[in-house]
A and B are shown apart, each in its own frame.
Chain A
Amino acid sequence: MLERFHVPEEDEIRVSSDKLRKTSEQIFVKCGMSLSNSKIATDVLLSADIRGVDTHGVSNMLRNYVLYLSEGSAKANPNWKIVRETESCATIDCDEGLGLVVAPQAMDIAIEKAKKTGVGLVSMGNGRHLGMAGYHAMMALEHDMIGTCMTSSTTNVVPTYAAKAGLGTNPIAVAAPALNKAPFVFDAATSAIATNKVRVAQRLGVPLAAGWITDEKGNPIMEETPLDIKEDPDKVNNLLQTPVGATRELGSHKGYSLGMVVDILGSILNGSLAGPLRTMKQHQNHFVAAYSIEAFTSVQKFKEMMDEYLQALEDLPPVEGQERVLYAGLMEYETETERKNIGIPLHPEVINWFKNICSELELDFDMTENGGNN
């Protein structure tokens, strides 16, 4: 994430991941989830916080999930099922369950298929919010597989040359293991920025950069745009976003098309309406895949070559003004190590939310102490 999206150090309150995990699990259970579902959902959520992907962790998402579960727009204990299946593929009806509960189980199915045929693909319809897509892709890593996850989501991205939204932010995640180095974990919206980043920017009072959003007529705004911190959250959530690339000249048609790939694999392939045809805001559909490395090459050789490849990129001399060249997943891996030790930095506004929701749900509030898990 860009520096502007992190909680400023003087504001942050460090909470151990154990405490955050315990409280989050309890909140999910109070919202009607079975204990096992609450554990799966919390693990997805916390993994985002631990890896520094604050946009998709407890700060932004938990309150949304509480809302969805309490208003009934997502089911706490969905009766999801496989509706079509071949040796390497499955189509799942998520029964309105949160992706953070159903997708990890779908990924398990993909992995089992990949053990037999070399690859497993699962397209999931009738779903709800997925959390950090990278989590599901990363499940493949411990099985020496390459993982993919995509989500076809709420329509707020303006296709190239259009005057209104026609696509979701439709993120794509791909994870591939290395030997000694941090695994390659790419996870990004096919829009210029994820919708959650707009929320984070609003909380932190930082401006949106050139090329991130469009005006009301769909024209990309090519200068910094300040966000009013008191702005109505709905208005902020409904800002029109650009595909990655921003303008046709800079490649927005590529971001737009990658977003379409996600709609096709994540929605149309399981019979869901996508893009401008979508009717329900909370509706999200997913696609996960696991590729067995062993099916193509020796796992040991692959991982050694990954190390060599990733090291070569890290070793590139940086451009003036930058400290180093990164690859996707490296910084998140470093953050993970740090946050496991010294806790997760939360914004005071988030701590306050936890305090209120705990009181509302009659749970003990236990987040005041700083520091890591000991």
Chain B
Amino acid sequence: MLERFHVPDQEIILIPEENLRNVTEQIFQSQGMPEKDCKLATDALISSDLRGVETHGVSNMVRAYLGAFKSKNINPKPNWKIVKETPSCITVDSDAGLGIVVAPQAMEIAVEKAKKTGVGLVTLGNGRHIGMLAYHAMIALKHDMIGTCMAACSPRMVPTFSSKKAIGTNPIAYAAPADKLPPFVFDAAMTSVAGNKIVLASRLGVPLEPGWIADDNGNPIMEKVNMKDLDQYEDESKNLEERYASGYISSSVDLLPFGGTREMGSHKSYSMAMVVDVLAGILNGSKTAPTGEHTGQGHFLAAYSIDAFIDTKEFKELMDRYLQSLLDLPSNSEGKEVVYAGYIEAKEQEKRGKEGIPLHPEVVEWYKKTSSELKIDQLI
């Protein structure tokens, strides 16, 4: 994440991982989720916070999920099932269960299939929020596999040349193991920024970059903007709590495919987002965002067994050499270190595991209030 999205140092409250895990599990339990599911869901959220992906951690998501439980948008006890199966593929009906609960279990099935045929693919319909995609893709790593995860989301993206939004931010994640270096873990929305980043920017009061959002008529805004300076986005910063309560963090801000404009390649990210709609939506029979009948999220998971293609040891050693050769590239005039996706997150994970997870005071306050209301343990 860009520096601006992190909680400023002077405001940070460090919370030990165990405390956050305990209270978050209890919050899920209060919503009627089975204990095993509470652990799965909490692990996915805390994993985001540990890796520094605050957009998808407890700060934004727990209250969003609570809102969605309240409005019966999420089924706390999903009876998810396999509706179609071949040796390498399955289609799952998630029964309106949270993706952070159903997807890790579906990924285990993909891994089992990959052990037998070399690859396992899962498309999941009728799902709900999946959290940080990388979490699910990374499940493949410990099995010496390459993992993929995609999510077909509600409309937020303005397709290239369109005057209105029609497609989700539709993130894509890939994880591939290395030997000694941190694994390659890519996880990104096909919009310039993830929807949750807009929420973070609201909380932190930082500006949005050129090429991130579109104006009312779908035109890319190619200058820096503060959301509070634009009437049309006023509710974005004001009514955050209200929008949390209504379920997912819906938003009035329309996002651009990454690249921003056609000349800068927005048609490529728009098309990649379409690939996600096809694999994570249409392939399991879900209605897609542009047709206007979209609900929840569709998901797609894959596990590729490395051993099916090459000796695992050789692959991992080659990965180390490849990743190191990228880290070794000299920096351009900006003077910033050349990294690869997953590198900073792995360092952050190590650090936060030891020091605790930095939360914004507003988030700690919310936990305090919620714990009292639900009569569960306090964070601190």
Contacts and interface: CB of A to CB of B under 8 A. Distances in A.
A291 B87 contact: no
Nearest to B319: A268
B118 A121 contact: yes
B216 to A, nearest CB: 11
B361 to A, nearest CB: 28
Nearest to B335: A161
A316 B341 contact: no
Interface string A305-327: 11011001100111110101111
B288 interface: yes
B252 interface: no
B272 interface: yes
Nearest to B222: A250
B290 A316 contact: yes
Given A117-B86, A186-B274, A257-B188, A217 B333 contact: yes
Contacts, number: 307
Given A117-B86, A257-B341, A301-B285, A245 B326 contact: no
A57 to B, nearest CB: 20
A91 B329 CA distance: 30
Interface stretch (A229-237, A258-266, A335-343): A258-266
Contacts of B160: 325-326
A131 interface: no
Interface stretch (A13-21, A70-78, A81-89): A81-89
Interface stretch (A26-34, A44-52, A101-109, A292-300): A292-300
A275 B262 CA distance: 27
Contacts of B2: 248-249
B278 A250 contact: no
A75 B188 CA distance: 39
A296 B284 contact: yes
B83 to A, nearest CB: 9
Interface residues of A, number: 90
Interface string A168-189: 0000101010000000101010
A164 B322 contact: no
A319 B216 CA distance: 10
A328 B271 CA distance: 6
B332 A218 contact: yes
A209 B264 CA distance: 8
A254 B310 contact: no
Contacts of A325: 159-162
Given A250-B264, A257-B341, A296-B91, A312 B166 contact: yes
B262 A2 contact: yes
B162 A318 contact: yes
Contacts of B146: 264-265, 269
Interface stretch (B24-32, B35-43, B300-308): B300-308
Given A249-B209, A312-B292, A269 B159 contact: no
B27 to A, nearest CB: 33
A174 B209 CA distance: 30
B8 interface: no
B217 to A, nearest CB: 6
B5 interface: no
Contacts of B325: 166, 275-277
Contact of A119 (B88, B192, B269): B88
Interface in A215-238: 217-219
A319 B282 CA distance: 27
Query: What 5 A-B pairs are tightest by C-beta distance, nearest first?
Result: A251-B258, A89-B118, A118-B89, A218-B332, A86-B118
